[in-house]
Amino acid sequence: MASLQEKLSELLPAKGEEIKQLIQEYGNRVISEVTVKQAFGGARGVKMLICDTSLVEPNQGLLIRGTPVLDLVDKLPEEIFYLLLTGELPNADALKTLQKDLKNREKVPQYVWDVLDATASDIHPMTMFSALILIMQRDSVFAQKYREGIPKTAYWEPVLEDALTLIARLPALAAAIYRKRFDKGPRIDSKPELDWGANLAHMLGIADPRGEFADLMRLYMVLHSDHEGGNVSAHTCHCVASALSDPYYAVSAGLNGLAGPLHGLANQECLRFVLALKDKFGGVPTKEQLSDFAWETLKSGQVIPGYGHAVLRVTDPRFTALRNFGLKVCPDDDVFKIVDLLFNTIPEILKEHGKAADPYPNVDAGSGALLHHFGMKEFDFYTVLFGVSRSLGMLSQLILSRGLGEAIERPKSVSTSWVKEQVS
């Protein structure tokens, strides 16, 4: 059975050679330029990062290694991790090997539980999640091997070790945070026979007689896994790891970016918005009521959460996947109905409002309603689930970065007066 380690040992040298040649032949060719607006505007659209795991096409949405995400919705998150890293879906043997490897690494050390048990229970779940990952830095094989002086060409191997251990432990960490933070009772032990996503569902302890919540967790983990290299979480993780900080430091940092309201926290803002609508109108509003509410929100200077995107210019296919799931599993749920009504109303309003470059729903517009349907009503927790999934992408990108010997990030900054001089 070929392991992920063996597969990468095969792939990385050829890829490294391809990049070396590209730099040798075309190292001075220009692939992007930066306008003043971009320099002050979050470097939007500036092509200055390499990411081979996935691509976000403005008119198509997320492609994982070239495959549209909507064609991957029936895959397991473990398969997606393998795909992100290698460019291929694993065959049955390779999947089994990866799943076994993850099972062998999933036990969270007691010192981590001691830290969780000692934290105040009103700390935000994302803070707990990021902190526990940071605490596990103590176990970093990469940090240890680096101290021992391994060669640069071998960096990726202990990074992969750390990544697999981290991924294996994330479901138990997330579930334990949920149970502690929201008084759900003691931690639930992992079940050896369950796949990674179903095990997360099991350890969260949500009642799931039909296995639909486990299906949702698998889907959720697939959809949120990666979104190319420039989003705040992936880019932060990449930047921190480029200093050869180990995966625990880097993923914890990436998650701190994910915790922002314009990024991963948007899913909880979205549900808050939907529930505010439901409260105000005592159920599903009419299209007119919803439209008035949306205009009030916009006129008060707030954004409509779950709508708009820095790159996308169409309905996010990840939203479509979640909506399809909702239409199958909970079409009559009031909260889901409001999400659907927003989908049919907001784009026209945002077009008329005339500001948002993308008036369509992003992934965060629908995910909260589905979690809410299954009784997970603690929306402060939602970004943790996003984080478990996004770690798959951040870590694949990180392993490849080390495997391909990428340099420390150090773009040049300039002052406002320098810009003024340039343009005058």
Tokens at 240, concatenated: 């921190």
Type of residue numbered 231? N
- Closest approach, Cβ 307 to ligand HAX, in A, equals 4
Annotated catalytic residue, options 309, 340, 358, 372: 309
> Does 355 interact with ligand HAX (rule: CB under 6 A)?
yes
Distance (Å) of CA 396 to CA 92, 165, 315: 20, 13, 26
The number of residues in the chain equals: 424
- Determine which residue in the list 90, 229, 305, 387 makes contact with ligand HAX, applying CB under 6 A: 305
Q: Does residue 106 interact with ligand HAX by CB under 6 A?
A: no
Is 224 considered catalytic here? no
303 binds ligand HAX (CB under 6 A): yes
Q: How far is the CB of 97 from ligand HAX (least distance, A)?
A: 32
Closest separation between CB of residue 334 and ligand HAX, Å? 22
Region of 29-37, 140-148, 152-160, 304-312 interacting with ligand HAX (CB under 6 A): 304-312
Nearer to ligand HAX, 112 or 258 (CB): 258
Q: Which is nearer to ligand HAX, 155 or 307 (CB)?
A: 307
Stretch that binds ligand HAX, among 90-98, 119-127, 352-360, 414-422 (CB under 6 A): 352-360
CA 238/CA 250 separation, integer angstroms:
7
In the bound complex, what is the minimum distance in angstroms from residue 297's beta carbon to ligand HAX?
A: 8
Minimum Å gap between C-beta 54 and ligand HAX is: 14
Residue with tokens 């490897």: 101
Query: Among 309, 318, 323, 372, which residue interacts with ligand HAX (rule: CB under 6 A)?
Result: 309
In the stretch 362-401, what mask flags binding to ligand HAX with x, by CB under 6 A? x-x-------------------------------------
- Smallest distance, ligand HAX to C-beta of residue 384, A: 13
Q: How many of the chain's residues bind ligand HAX (CB under 6 A)?
A: 19
Nearer residue to ligand HAX within complex by CB, 305 or 368: 305
51 near ligand HAX, rule: CB under 6 A:
no
| Active-site residue, selected from the candidate residues 195, 364, 372, 373 | 364
Please confirm, yes or no, whether 309 is among the known catalytic residues.
yes
Q: From the list 106, 157, 228, 358, which residue makes contact with ligand HAX (rule: CB under 6 A)?
A: 358
What is the closest distance, in whole angstroms, from the C-beta atom of residue 324 to ligand HAX in the complex?
A: 19
* Dist CA 251 CA 153 (whole Å): 22
Active site residue 263: yes
Site for ligand HAX in 224-283 (CB under 6 A): 262-264, 266
Stretch that binds ligand HAX, among 7-15, 123-131, 158-166, 307-315 (CB under 6 A): 307-315
Closest residue to ligand HAX using C-beta atoms: 308
**Dist. CA 209–CA 163, nearest whole Å:** 33
User: Using the rule CB under 6 A, which residue among 306, 317, 326, 387 binds ligand HAX?
Assistant: 306
Q: Which is nearer to ligand HAX, 237 or 356 (CB)?
A: 356
What minimum distance in Å lies between the beta carbon of 230 and ligand HAX?
Answer: 11
Whichever of 214 and 311 has its CB closer to ligand HAX, that residue is: 311
Long-range contacts of 50-54 (CB under 8 A, 24+ apart): 50/229, 50/406, 51/228, 51/229, 51/230, 51/234, 51/397, 52/15, 52/87, 52/400, 53/84, 53/85, 53/226, 53/228, 53/229, 53/393, 53/396, 53/397, 53/400, 54/84, 54/226, 54/227, 54/228, 54/393
Active-site positions?
263, 309, 364
Binding site for ligand HAX (CB under 6 A): 262-264, 266, 298, 303-310, 355-358, 362, 364
